[in-house]
Structure formats: C-alpha cells, structure tokens
Amino acid sequence: MTPSVTELKVGADDVRIARLAAAAVGLSLVDAAIPMPLPGVKPGLANIVTLMVLARYGWSAAAWVSGLRVVAGSLLLGQFLAPGFFLSLTGAITSLAVLALARWLPGRLFGPVSWSLLASFAHIAGQLALARVWLIPHDGLFRLVPVFALAALVFGIINGLVVCRLLQEFPEEAPHESRP
C-alpha cells in the first residue's frame, strides 16, 4: 500500500518530502564535491535518503524525493538539462524501477543493503545505456564497465549499511509501512 494522498494528509506529506528532498540535495552537493578518478564514479550519498524514504514511507515518496533531488540538485550545480542531468535522471529512473521490484523481496532475507546494491547497479546500467546510445556511441565504453561495476558494488554496500544504521538509530514516528 502506498501512502494515501487525501487532501488532509497532503500538507504533512509534502513538508516531509520537501525536507527529505532537501537532505538528498545537500548530499548530492557533497557528492559532487568529492573528487573522483572517473566522471560517473560517485558515492551516490543522496541515495541513502532515497532508500530511507523507501523503507519508511514507501515507493512513491521515494520517487518524489529522488526526482526532486535530481532536478533541484542539477539546478544548484548548474547542470540542469546538461548531459550530467540526463545521466542522473536516467540513473534515478532505472534505480527506482528496480527498487519498485526489490522492495517486494522477503524482508527477513533481504535488507537495505540488497536494495542499495540493486539500485546502484541499476543506476550504472541505466547511465551506461544512455551514455552508449547518446553521448559516446561506441562499444569501447563498455570496457569501463568493470570500473563502474566495482564502484557500484563498493558504494552500494556502504550506502546500504549506512541506511541500516540510520533506520536503527532513528526509529521514526508511525511509519506508513516498513516493508511490504
């Protein structure tokens, strides 16, 4: 069940989504400030927020936060409608699509680390696909797959663990759903 969007609840949900999106935007600025060896290899710290929202408030809230983060983050970084914007938009869309499925995994076996891993791999898969089709139309791009995959593995696990810790340390007020 996704959170019901009745008129009365809209205000509170909106405020919460805006707050969380602001946190995500802040983290994506931190992300952009961390020097990385290859363009496209990033810790993806903002996804910590997306995953926490997914765990606490469900998929559509996560999609809102993620979408707002991509748009507002790119505006702040001066990337709006630049290639980087479309790359992160594609990454956000593919990882949200995978998360839509991943959150139905049995919760006893699969936790936020699994979500985070699946999302990070979906992220690079989507971005590489877009880059191959649009930015660098050459198969040579795929020779970089190991680098991106390694980054997705490492940061996927780290971000997932951070999500676990944060969920543990900050038990939120009345969650709509923790896990379906």
Q: Give residues in contact with another protein (CB under 8 A).
A: 105-106, 108-111, 113-114, 117-118, 121, 139-140, 142-147, 149-150, 152-153, 156-157, 160-161, 164-165, 168
Least distance from C-beta 37 to another protein, angstroms?
Answer: 14
Least distance from C-beta 177 to another protein, angstroms?
Answer: 18
Residues 6+ apart with CB under 8 A from 143: none
Least distance from C-beta 93 to another protein, angstroms?
Answer: 21
Pick between residue 17 and residue 102 the one whose CB is nearest to another protein. Answer: 102
Residues 6+ apart with CB under 8 A from 165: none
Least distance from C-beta 111 to another protein, angstroms?
Answer: 4
Pick between residue 73 and residue 112 the one whose CB is nearest to another protein. Answer: 112
Least distance from C-beta 131 to another protein, angstroms?
Answer: 16
Least distance from C-beta 78 to another protein, angstroms?
Answer: 32
The candidate with the shortest Cα–Cα distance to 127, out of 96, 160, 86, 98, is: 86
Structure tokens at 161: 């663990």
Structure tokens at 163: 């999500």
How far apart, in whole angstroms, are the C-alpha atoms of residue 20 and residue 24? Answer: 6
Pick between residue 32 and residue 153 the one whose CB is nearest to another protein. Answer: 153
DSSP state of 134: I
Pick between residue 88 and residue 120 the one whose CB is nearest to another protein. Answer: 120
Estimate to the nearest angstrom the gap between the alpha carbon of 13 and the chain centroid.
Answer: 19
Rg (CA), the chain: 16
Pick between residue 72 and residue 158 the one whose CB is nearest to another protein. Answer: 158
- Quick one: how many helices (H) and strands (E) in the chain? 6, 0
Pick between residue 19 and residue 165 the one whose CB is nearest to another protein. Answer: 165
How far apart, in whole angstroms, are the C-alpha atoms of residue 166 and residue 45? Answer: 13
